[in-house]
């Protein structure tokens, strides 16, 4: 299956951080920019994100889209409202299809690894959904290399028709924890990377300035859960260093946002970058990174600027991105 280089995602936006009309406008801006792939999850805004996306895509020819969603994280108070058991996978898939207003999803992803459920049970349940035509392809998100490898081995041993074809990790100029182990395994096995947070919660756009309050229209100043996630990457030293990326973006003829998204797309093994947005103009800017080639000199200059801020620790795979403690500093605007 082909997917667009830019994927539109709606974590922390649809159903909680963005008004419905604006969310629909962002989806339409993505379609106008050539985006055909849309990513969501059952846990985003406890199902509301899927509902908003489904309504925004209503009337668009279904076969022209690739819709991806996820299952695993808690969607209710019950003991079976989470995880990768057969019960939760099947029930969650049916609920996602209802909310999205579609008969099938193109990509169904295990949102995290579930060490409380036998992996064979998880893989067989996913395979049954593929056989039933409710899911076309399977993926995982934030799994470690050894977990992906074991799933591939077990799928072959069980004779399953379907196998993992994609991984959705956090990945950007700063957070490169998949490079030592996950990326090499996936490249050997033909598993594509559809990466999220290419802008590191917007920090790599350069809009957060050292020593200054967060912009009023930014995620760090928003209501809801977004400020919590942004605050993890707002170290003062980091913000100063990011400003040093601006001349590189200028020399490449790109905005800071396009430079950051293009960086991910220029990394070996990466298929697509997932962008989020609170305004249609952000969608248009980010989508402009598709097809951009960064030469070796630009890539080296980025590495030279970020230097010891780059995190390559594979043990952090699956953790939420956080700048190294020595670079962290409190910011009242993000509390």
> Which residues participate in catalysis according to the annotation?
44
CB 231 within 8 A of CB 334: yes
Is residue 8 within 8 Å of residue 274, measured between CB atoms? yes
- What is the C-alpha separation between 65 and 271, in angstroms, rounded? 16
User: C-alpha 26: how far from its chain's center?
Assistant: 17
Residue 289: partners with Cβ closer than 8 Å, 6 or more residues away: 5, 6, 254, 257, 258, 259, 260, 261, 262, 265, 273
SS3 letters for 112-174? CCCCCCCHHHHHHHHHHHHHCCCEEEEEEECCCHHHHHHHHHHHHHHCCCCCEEEEECECCCC
Distance of CA 256 to the CA centre of its chain: 19
Report helix, strand or coil for 193.
Answer: strand
- Name the pairing type of β-strands 270-275 and 66-71: unpaired
Nearest-CA neighbor of 4 among 70, 96, 67?
A: 67
Beta carbons of 171 and 318 less than 8 angstroms apart: no
Question: Helix or strand or coil: residue 266?
Answer: coil
Q: Give the three-state DSSP class for 208.
A: coil
Pairing mode of beta strands 164-168, 192-195: parallel
């Amino acid at each position: 299956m082909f997917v667009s280089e830019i994927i539109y995602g709606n974590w922390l936006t649809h159903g909680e951080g963005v008004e419905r009309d604006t969310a629909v406008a962002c989806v339409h801006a993505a379609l106008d920019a050539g985006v055909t792939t849309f990513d969501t999850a059952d846990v985003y805004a406890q199902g509301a994100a899927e509902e908003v996306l489904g309504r925004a895509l209503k009337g668009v020819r279904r076969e022209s889209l690739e819709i991806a969603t996820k299952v695993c994280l808690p969607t209710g108070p019950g003991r079976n409202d989470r995880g990768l058991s057969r019960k939760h996978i099947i029930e969650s898939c049916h609920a996602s299809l209802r909310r999205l207003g579609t008969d099938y999803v193109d990509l169904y992803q295990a949102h995290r690894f579930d060490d409380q459920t036998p992996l064979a049970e998880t893989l067989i349940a996913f395979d049954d959904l593929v056989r039933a035509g409710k899911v076309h392809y399977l993926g995982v998100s934030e799994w470690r290399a050894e977990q992906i490898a074991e799933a591939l081995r077990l799928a072959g041993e069980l004779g399953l028709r379907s196998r993992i074809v994609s991984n959705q990790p956090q990945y950007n100029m700063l957070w490169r924890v998949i490079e030592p182990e996950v990326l090499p395994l996936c490249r050997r096995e033909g598993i594509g990377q559809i990466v999220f947070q290419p802008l590191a919660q917007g920090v790599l756009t350069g809009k957060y300035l050292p020593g200054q309050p967060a912009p009023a229209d930014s995620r760090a100043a928003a209501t809801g859960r977004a400020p919590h996630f942004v605050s993890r990457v707002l170290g003062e030293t980091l913000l100063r260093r990011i400003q040093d990326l601006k001349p590189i973006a200028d020399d490449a003829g790109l905005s800071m946002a396009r430079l950051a998204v293009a960086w991910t797309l220029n990394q070996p093994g990466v298929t697509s970058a997932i962008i989020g947005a609170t305004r249609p103009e952000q969608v248009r800017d980010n989508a402009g990174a598709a097809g951009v080639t960064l030469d070796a000199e630009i890539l080296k200059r980025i590495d030279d600027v970020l230097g010891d801020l780059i995190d390559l620790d594979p043990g952090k795979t699956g953790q939420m991105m956080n700048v190294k403690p020595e670079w962290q500093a409190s910011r009242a605007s993000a509390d």
